[in-house]
Each structure stands twice: as structure tokens, then as C-alpha cells.
Amino acid sequence: MASGEPAEWVIERESDRYPRALRHIHDPPPRLHLRGALAGERGALDAPAVAVVGARDATAYGLAVARDLGRTLAEAGIVVVSGLALGIDGAAHRGALEAGGRTVAVVGGGTDIVYPRPHAALRREILAHGVLVSEHPATTAPRPGQFPRRNRIVSGLSLGVVVVEATLRSGSLTTAAHALEQGREVFAVPGPAGAPRSAGPHALLRRGAKLVETVDDVLAELPAGIARPSADGCPVTAGLPADLACIVEAIRAGTATADAVALHLGRKLPEILEKLVMLELRGSVVRGPAGRYAVVGPAP
């Protein structure tokens, strides 16, 4: 552990600070060891969270997808959980940090151990803006058998698990299995046919996992009402990106024509027309007489 790092917090299972979702999984850790900016924040591990996991030897495609998912989930106010491993895990953590969001790294050894070494700088960022979590006390060296067990914590802290690139023998499939056992959603990102790292996600899709092409596919499956304002003041709602949510709110407020919405939001008319078509296809708005739009359904 480097000097000047934050102190470790220990939360016993009997404590009211112990994460509610984790308390009810099979074999919950008797105590959690936390280190980082969020370690002392009550309820930090009870915030809506999604895990993004996958191959250590990920492709450039997989890394880009994981980073984008981490960033866009964080922009939607979702905590990004992963395991600080090389490859997909690290990319998801980085994406969340780039968005100024929160990220939780569940590690296989003590929270004071720098592992893996190439992620020393990423670990420092997580300590400054997120939290490291372990079921092991400080100074515990990471050992191979500890990583499969930590996967139940990754899924247990999350509303769902997204698998991005994994072989059929990957630990990520263990995390997905824990998620199913715990009643969490399981998502998978498809890859090129026949590629070894596509085999895991494709197997999950055949078993009923939700297909993920964009973050919308994840947000649409999360409980209603998980949202926060985006940087431009638009609501970010489960299943509805900020740019579309802005248009819905503008229509709801009374700016019911495409011209009025464009003027209200300071956007170009062709852009607004394109997004209105998207909203119609989603069933979020309908176009009535004189080109006036109306919102379908209750406010998010």
C-alpha cells in the first residue's frame, strides 16, 4: 500500500451499513473491507449499480465497448461495478471515471494490495473517486481461488451483469451464473461469429440473456425511476437517453410541434425531426393533427 492512501473501513454483516442487496445473496461475506473516497459514505453500496465484466485478453473492439458502457452507465447515474482485472474490467472502470461517475472495484485480495500491477494508476483513480471492496482483510495476497468467489460479490452488488467478450471457460460466466442465482439481470454483448471471445456471450444469449448493442438495452431492463439529470439538465431515464428525454419533457411542457421543440432546446430542426421519429418508433410520443406531438404514458 502506498503512503497517504485512505484508511480501510470494515463493515460487519450485522451493521446497517452493510449493502442491502448483498445481505440476501447465498453465502454473503461476513464482513466487507472498503477503501476509497466512498468507503465512509453511508449507502454508497446501495446505489443502483450494473456490473460490466469480461475477458482479460480483450480485443480493441471489446475494450471500446466496455469503456463506452462504463461511461454511458455513469452518465445515467448508474454505479459501475467490476473486478479491476486487466482487459474489460479496467475499461469499464475507466469509462465510468471519465464520465465523472462512481465505480466499485471488487478485488480478490486485500484492498491495500496493488494488483494487477499494470492497474496501479487506475487503482489510485478509483481510490480517489470510487471504492475498492474485498471480503479479505488488508495484507491478504491475491490467490487464484479467491477470484471466482469474489464474483458473487460483483453480481450481488449489482442490478444486472453485462458480459463483454468471454471464452466458455471465463470467470465472467461464473459471474453471470451468480447473477442468475441471485435474481439479477444478465446481459451479453454479441461479437464476431466463431471468435473464441464471442463464445461466452453467445452462449448466454442462447440461454436467454438480454442482447446489448447500446446502453439503452441495459437501461430499459432496470427498475423504473432510476434516473438523474444529465449535465445539460435533461433527465436520464431508464430506457430513454438524455437527448430523447429532453424532447419528451419539452413536449410535455407544451412545446408540441417540431419547430417549437427545436426553438425551445436550441437545436436544429432536422436533428429534432430525426429524434421525434425515434421517439415515435419507441412508442414514447404520437404525432397528431397540425404536426402537434403528445407524450404517451405517464411522466418517468
Backbone torsions φ then ψ of 95, nearest 5 degrees: -60, -45
Distance, CA of 272 to CA of 291 (rounded, Å):
13
Q: Across residues 106-124, what is the average pLDDT?
A: 98
pLDDT at 1: 57
Query: pLDDT by residue (tens digit) across 87-100?
Result: 999 999 999 999 89
Q: Is 138 helix (H, G, I), strand (E, B) or coil?
A: coil
CATH architecture observed for domain 227-295: Orthogonal Bundle (1.10)
The cell for 83 is 473486478
- 9-219 placed in CATH 3.10.310.30: no
pLDDT higher than 50, residue 66: yes
Sorted by where each begins, the domain ranges of the chain are 9-219, 227-295
Share of the chain above pLDDT 90, in %: 70
The cell for 294 is 403528445
